[in-house]
Amino acid sequence: MRPRARLAALKRAYIPAAALLAAWLFATLALDSIEWVRLSAGGERGRGGNARAPSEELSGNRAILDPAEQMRRGLEDLGAAAASPRPGTLLFLLARAAPAIERRIARARAGNRNIPGGR
């Protein structure tokens, strides 16, 4: 077979393959761009709602200088949200450990004047 005829036969074989490759590439890019636009729009919608929440939530809070008091208030809020702590929950375990924590805090305050609320 002559070289020119061989090149013509290869050309006839590669033209459909190149066309299928181009079609696949075009379809992939089109579908990916559509998905990117949908995700981008969804992200913008989600980001708008989440950006306002922390500033609104933190605007009404006041600074609590005593970490024990802050924890006590947090536990009271959790206790109010859950009518009664169920065994196996973190709130149940904290309720059981609270007396020991209170004793430790009282001893630490009595022995160290640097702790807020200490004598």
Choosing from 16, 36, 61, the residue where a domain stops is: 61
Shared domain for 71 and 83, answered yes or no, is yes
Confidence band (pLDDT; 50, 70, 90) for 81? low
CA 115-117-119 angle, 5° bins:
85
Shared domain for 68 and 116, answered yes or no, is yes
pLDDT beyond 80 at 101: yes
The pLDDT, as a whole number, for residue 108 is 84
Q: What is the pLDDT of residues 11-63, one digit of tens each?
A: 888 999 999 999 999 999 999 999 999 999 888 877 766 555 555 555 555 56
CA 27 – CA 30 distance, rounded (Å): 5
Who contacts 118 (Cβ-Cβ below 8 Å, separation ≥6)?
Answer: 108, 109, 110, 112
pTM beyond 0.75? no
